[in-house]
Amino acid sequence: MFTRIGIVTKTHEPAVKEALERVIAVLNRRGVDTLLETQAAAHAPAGDYRSAPGPALPDSCDLVISIGGDGTLLQCAGLIYPRDVALVGINLGRLGFLADLSLADIETGLDAVLDGQYLSEDRAVLGCEVVREGRVIASEDGLNDVVVQKWSTARLITLETYVDGQYLHSQRSDGMIVATPTGSTAYALSGGGPILDPRARALALVPICPHTLTNRPIVLSDAARIEIHVATDREDESRVTCDGNSILDLLPGDVVRVARRARAIRLLHPAGHDHFATLRAKLNWGA
């Protein structure tokens, strides 16, 4: 099913070495061409391995295995996008909404994936542009979310939001999250946002600690084009991030444009994957 597989690992994690050894053993047993990201190669057991820096890895692979938590998988998503490369995660983290192969299931799970027994999901990606004085000065992509938030201040910031060119509202808050269904179980969840089915063609707008308590999360079509205008009057008080990675410090008058990208990320799960069972287990909803 896959001719060359890349491996990316979380750094400074004691369980990484064991997981990496077991993954490599499975791939070697099956005669799969394997390429290690440079950091992963540093954790690998003794042997002759080919390695490449992260940005070069996806050019030579049709599947990337992420060993770590959801943060590592998001890092991998940033590396492979927008190439047509599948992504599967082995979870060494705490929650693992995205990286859902457990340490105990490495051999059986990977064998099943390599035999074609998996569930493939296309996960929406957000594109973000920052416009200053009519010119795009920064852009980035995010699988989870785009966040405009206050920075280096205890004061609230003022944001004006437009959807498809129509004025939605002005709010004073700690910021605004634009989340995909994938990101609805991340920062947006802690902000009181809704959990979206990964198959939903939707985005969530989630205010962060709004001063007006009636300012509630809103679910939009994922075809919506969102603009967030920075209306605060002080400089260096807000910042925009994608998947937790800082893009730019914002200035008064800056506009952050957010829209779904045409290409998605292809995420693989073990056969029989049950999203609702994952929610029950990770969020302690009971049996």
Q: Show which residues are catalytic.
A: 70
How many CB atoms are closer than 10 A to CB 216?
Answer: 12
- Residues 181, 185, 190, 192: is their CA dihedral positive or negative? positive
Helix (H), strand (E), coil (C) string for 23-70? HHHHHHHCCCEEEEEHHHHHHCCCCCCEEECHHHHHHHCCEEEEEECH
The alpha carbons of the chain give a radius of gyration, in whole angstroms, of 20
User: Cα separation of 159 and 163, whole Å?
Assistant: 13
In terms of DSSP H, where are the helices of 131-229?
187-190
Amino acid in position 207: P
Q: Between vectors from CA 231 to CA 229 and to CA 233, what angle results, nearest 5°?
A: 145
Length of the chain: 287
Which residue bears the tokens 């405009």?
A: 148
Q: How many CB atoms lie within 10 A of CB 13?
A: 16
Q: 């049709």: which residue's tokens?
A: 62
